[in-house]
Structure 1
Amino acid sequence: MIVALLNQKGGTGKTTLALHLAGEWARRGSRVTLIDADPQGSALDWAERRNQDGGQRLFAVLGLSRETLHQEAPELARDGDILVIDGPPRVAGLMRSALLAADLALIPVQPSPLDGWASAEMLALLAEARSFRPQLAAGFILNRCGAGTILARETARALTEHDPPLIAPPIGQRIVFAQAMQGGRLAHELDPDSQAAREIAALADAIGRLAP
């Protein structure tokens, strides 16, 4: 299965989610590779910090930020169970290539009207990709949510009216995610009983029910 995390807007926590989902699936026994298709290379930086600090390799991280991704990703996917693509912001050609490669597109959004407007562009690209690949599944992930905020509830309500659907549960704005990214670690490694670790596990379960 090829899972792409994509959004035209930067700052939605896409890389954090991509790494944590890859880690969760690897922890459950899947053979996982993560492709860093973002020219900024944040996932590659995380992997380098992990390697320097002697962290156990849970999954491979490869850099591949070019518009031939849809041609190269299927070959890479044959060597494992799940291929995760951490997509680029604001690079339409790369975004199209990632969508054409994917079996499942995940669209992280924050509880903000600005994210909703940016998602309209993402949905247009998704519709374009589905004209070539009608079987492409997709879903929104509400990310970086403040606990119990009205804005988060309003954003979730607005997204329920969309196709693709909103994937529950939302992911909170939690310090442990920032600490994990800075140290080349994952939330469950820093605190396996944390709310962050439980949310990622629940999200992985929900994605499993949506995946084709």
Structure 2
Amino acid sequence: MIVAVLNQKGGVGKTTLALHLAGEWALRGKRVTLLDADPQGSALDWSQQRARENVSPLFGVIGLARDTLHREAPEIARTADHVVIDGPPRVARLIRSALLAADLVLIPVQPSPFDGWASAEMLALLREARIYHPKLSARFVLNRCDTRTGIARATAETLADHDPPVLATTIGQRVVFADAAQSGRLVVEFAQQSTASGEITALAAEVARLAP
């Protein structure tokens, strides 16, 4: 399965989700490759920090920020159980290529009306991609979310009847994600019993059930 984590809006936590999905599957014995399709290269930076900390790799990270992604990702997927694409913000040609490569698109959004408005452009690209790739599946993911707030509940209720729908699993706004990333680690390695680790486990299981 090729899973692309995409949104035109920056700062919604795409890299964090992509790394943690890849890591969760790898820890469960799956062969996983992460494609860093963001010219900023945050996933590659994380991988390099992991090496500097002398932490063994869990999965391969390949820089592939080019619009031939839709041709190259399926070839890479031949030797992997899961390929995760960490997509770029704002670079439409790269996002289009990632959409054409993917079996499933995850669109992270934060519980904010601004994120909802910003997602409109992403949804337009998704509709365009489905002309050429009609089997492309997509889901929203509520990320950096405090479910106790009214706006978080309102966002979840709005997306419940949306196309694409929202995943049941939500990921909270938790400092442990940033603390783990500084040392090139995942939350399961940094704080295994944390709520954040449990949320990632639930997310990876829910996404895996959507495999075509």
Q: TM over 0.5: same fold?
A: yes
Normalising by structure 2, we get a TM-score of: 0.98
Q: Which ranges in structure 2 are unaligned for 5 or more consecutive residues?
A: none
Asked whether the 8 Å contact 2:147–2:153 carries over to 1, the reply is no
Number of positions where the alignment pairs a residue of Structure 1 with one of Structure 2: 212
| Distance verdict in 2 for CA 1:147–1:159, change over 3 Å | closer
Q: How far off is 1:107 after superposition?
A: 0.3
Return 5+ residue gaps in structure 1 as ranges: none
> 1:72-106: CA deviations, max 9, x gaps?
11111111111000000000000000000000000
**Distance of 1:163 and 1:80 partners within structure 2:** 29
Q: Which residue of 1 aligns with 2:64?
A: 64
Cross-structure match for 1:101: 101
Equivalent-residue separation in structure 2 for 1:30 and 1:62 (angstroms)? 17
2:149 paired with 1:130: no
4+ long deviations beyond 2 Å: none
3-state SS in 2 of match to 1:210: coil
| Partners of 2:106 and 2:86 in 1: CA distance | 10
For residue 193 of structure 2, give the secondary structure of its aligned residue in structure 1: coil
Alignment deviations for residues 12-43 of structure 1 (CA, whole Å, 9 cap, x no partner): 00000000000000011100000000000000
Shift, 1:211, TM fit: 2.5
5 Å matches for 1:179-190? 179-190=179-190
Q: Could you tell me which residue of structure 2 aligns to residue 23 of structure 1?
A: 23
> What do you get for the CA RMSD once the two structures are aligned?
0.7
8 Å CA contact retained: 1:137, 1:211: no
Partner of 1:150: 150
Is 1:36–1:86's contact at 8 Å kept on the other side of the alignment? yes
- Asked if 2 retains the 8 angstrom alpha-carbon contact of 1:16 and 1:177, the reply is yes
Aligned pair 1:139/2:139, yes or no?
A: yes
C-alpha distance in 1, partners of 2:96/2:147? Answer: 34
Cα distance, 1:165 vs. partner? 0.9
SS in 2 for 1:166: coil
Q: In the alignment, which residue of structure 2 is the partner of 1:83?
A: 83
Paired residue type of 1:52: R
The whole-number CA distance in structure 2 between the counterparts of 1:205 and 1:127 is: 26
The percent identity for this pair of structures is 67
